[in-house]
Amino acid sequence: MKFRGWTGDQMHLALVRLTEKTNTGFHFTARIPLGEQVEVWNTRLVPDSASKRKKEDELYPAGVLVRSTFSGAGTGRRRAYAACYHAHGHFMRALFDMNPNGRIVTAVARYNGMEGFNEHAPEVAYIEKGSVMQPEQYRHLCDCIEHGCTRF
């Protein structure tokens, strides 16, 4: 993802707000120094390795992408090393609260300011991102509904 219009401090503050909202730790894949203004931040948002479930019957942590898998023995769910649609939504909302004129480009959408985010973010939830055998929409690839952190 590419973020334009925020300082390193603002990026980290949005990350703190996401962690508070979901009770799950997240970090950036690229180094984002505090106090720096860069024209474009190019990074991904991923959950900390500590955000793993402890027992098989527990829910995955809020904000963690869970992909469905298919095998001859049946279906199962596994954790992917990525933040889910809802976690990204909370993070982007926190950024746009700080700078409503910022811009974010992802693999599936472009958000030009808060207005563009409000218009297009709900549409992304319905994009099918599963396999051909088991298509699933972005909004269903995590356990956020059970955690109650789907509204951003």
Please tell me the total count of domains within the chain. 1
Q: Is residue 100 part of a domain?
A: yes
pLDDT > 90? residue 102: yes
Q: Is residue 110 part of a domain?
A: yes
Phi, psi of 6 (to 5 degrees): -130, 150
Q: Is residue 17 part of a domain?
A: yes
Q: What is the pLDDT of residue 104?
A: 94
Could you report the per-residue pLDDT of 56-86, keeping only the tens digit for each? 555 556 666 555 443 334 445 555 667 888 8
pLDDT > 50? residue 130: yes
Could you report the per-residue pLDDT of 8-60, keeping only the tens digit for each? 889 999 989 988 888 788 888 887 777 777 778 888 777 776 555 555 555 55
Instruction: pLDDT band for 134, please (50, 70, 90 cuts).
Output: confident
Task: For the chain, give percent helix, strand, coil, nearest 5.
Answer: 30, 25, 45
Q: What is the pLDDT of residue 99?
A: 95
Q: What is the pLDDT of residue 67?
A: 53
Using a 10 angstrom Cβ sphere, with 0-12 exposed, 13-18 middle and 19 or more buried, the burial of residue 40 is: exposed
pTM attached to this predicted model: 0.80
Q: What is the pLDDT of residue 65?
A: 59
- Residue 118: domain span: 2-46+59-147
Q: Is residue 93 part of a domain?
A: yes
Contact 93, 117 (CB under 8 A): yes
